[in-house]
């Protein structure tokens, strides 16, 4: 397939590399000049499960793609949530009438942005358990295994979605069709909507927060707000299952000693966060449905205050 990775940071590099290794025609589109320059000069470098690899994959700055002739079969979106609209605008001439657009960003409501540029029948929503990191511009750190659940947004997109699944699976990306993608998106958003913001504000790893005697009460209050919105959106959310998954993050033997990605973005790398697309999305939808969301609202405000105190960019 001819594939555009729109947003070639940590996750985009993983997907770009694995699809390139599986002999797809891949191009990367990104907005970080230093990263783009390094990949143009030396190729995309990665520590891939302990092995140092280099792949020569074409990469373009998103502000230069208007003149690039590449009619893609598939666009995989991997910007940060706040970069999505600008990216969609800049790649729109590469999105043809048959181009499928797969969104794998964390967070809620990205379809509202994508719908402005792509017909519903070409949009695929997904949720991925793959992870990735960047060691620096041009170099990714890719460890472990993952999976992807995906579903077409429009009713008539199933066959095309199965083709995308086959393409991803040829690259060992473990994709499968989901009959209810919104549920898995909301489930993951609950984990991100608790661990990310709370550990960032409290300057704690997940175990440290989880072992406080107020952790359960705070997490249950936040999850109940997500569940109320999920219900309005017809996303089936099993609260007990969600709470069990969140509590599993506290385990010191597994991932409890890690700081979640928002902590790394803001506290370590001084970057703006995706809070507006996780807890902030619940606040916006709460207003729409007339549902109170005080915990999500307060956490969103606290994270924005922290971004401003630290001068995050």
Q: Which sequence positions are flagged as catalytic?
A: 188
For the record, the structure tokens of 33 come out as: 């000049």
Tally of CB atoms within 10 A around 213:
6
Nearest to 133 by CA among 6, 1, 258, 42: 258
* CA pair distance 174, 129, nearest whole angstrom: 10
SS (H, E, C) 258-298: CCCHHHHHHHHCCCCCCHHHCHHHHHHHHHHHCCCCHHHHH
> Which tokens in the block code for residue 168?
């991803």
Q: Which spans of this chain sit near ligand NAD (rule: CB under 6 A)?
A: 7-12, 30-32, 35, 78-81, 105-106, 128, 131-132, 134, 261, 269, 274
Which residues are 102's β-sheet partners?
76, 124
- Cα-trace Rg, the chain: 19
- Kindly tell me which of 61 and 231 has the beta carbon lying closer to ligand NAD: 61
User: Can you list the alpha helix ranges (DSSP code H) found in 65-143?
Assistant: 84-91, 110-114
How far apart (Å, rounded) are the C-alpha atoms in residues 189 and 92?
28
Q: Are strands 2-6 and 51-55 parallel, antiparallel or unpaired?
A: unpaired
φ, ψ dihedrals at 158, nearest 5°: -60, -45
Toward ligand NAD, which CB reaches closer, 32 or 250? 32
DSSP 238: -
């Amino acid at each position: 397939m001819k594939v555009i990775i729109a947003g070639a940071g940590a996750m985009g590099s993983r997907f770009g590399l694995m699809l390139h290794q599986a002999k797809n025609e891949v191009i990367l589109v990104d907005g970080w000049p230093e990263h783009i320059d390094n990949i143009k000069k030396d190729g995309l470098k990665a520590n891939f499960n302990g092995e140092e690899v280099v792949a020569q994959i074409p990469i373009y700055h998103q502000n230069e793609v208007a003149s690039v002739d590449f009619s893609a079969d598939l666009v995989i979106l991997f910007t940060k949530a706040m970069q999505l609209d600008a990216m969609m605008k800049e790649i729109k001439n590469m999105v043809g009438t048959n181009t499928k657009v797969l969104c794998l960003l964390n967070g809620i409501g990205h379809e509202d942005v994508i719908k402005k540029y792509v017909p519903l029948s070409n949009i695929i929503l997904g949720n991925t358990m793959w992870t990735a990191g960047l060691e620096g511009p041009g170099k990714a750190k890719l460890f472990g295994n993952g999976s992807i659940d995906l579903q077409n947004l429009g009713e008539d997109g199933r066959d095309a979605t199965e083709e995308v699944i086959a393409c991803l699976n040829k690259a060992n990306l473990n994709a499968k069709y989901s009959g209810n993608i919104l549920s898995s998106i909301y489930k993951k958003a609950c984990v991100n909507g608790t661990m990310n913001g709370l550990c960032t504000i409290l300057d704690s790893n997940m175990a440290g927060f989880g072992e406080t005697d107020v952790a359960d009460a705070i997490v249950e209050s936040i999850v109940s707000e997500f569940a109320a919105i999920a219900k309005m959106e017809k996303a089936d959310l099993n609260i007990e299952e969600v709470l069990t998954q969140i509590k599993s993050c506290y385990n010191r033997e597994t991932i409890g000693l890690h700081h979640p990605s928002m902590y790394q973005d803001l506290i370590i790398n001084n970057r703006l966060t995706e809070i507006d697309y996780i807890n902030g999305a619940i606040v916006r939808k709460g207003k729409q449905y007339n549902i109170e969301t005080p915990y999500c609202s307060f956490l969103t405000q606290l994270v924005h205050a922290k971004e401003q105190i630290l001068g995050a960019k």
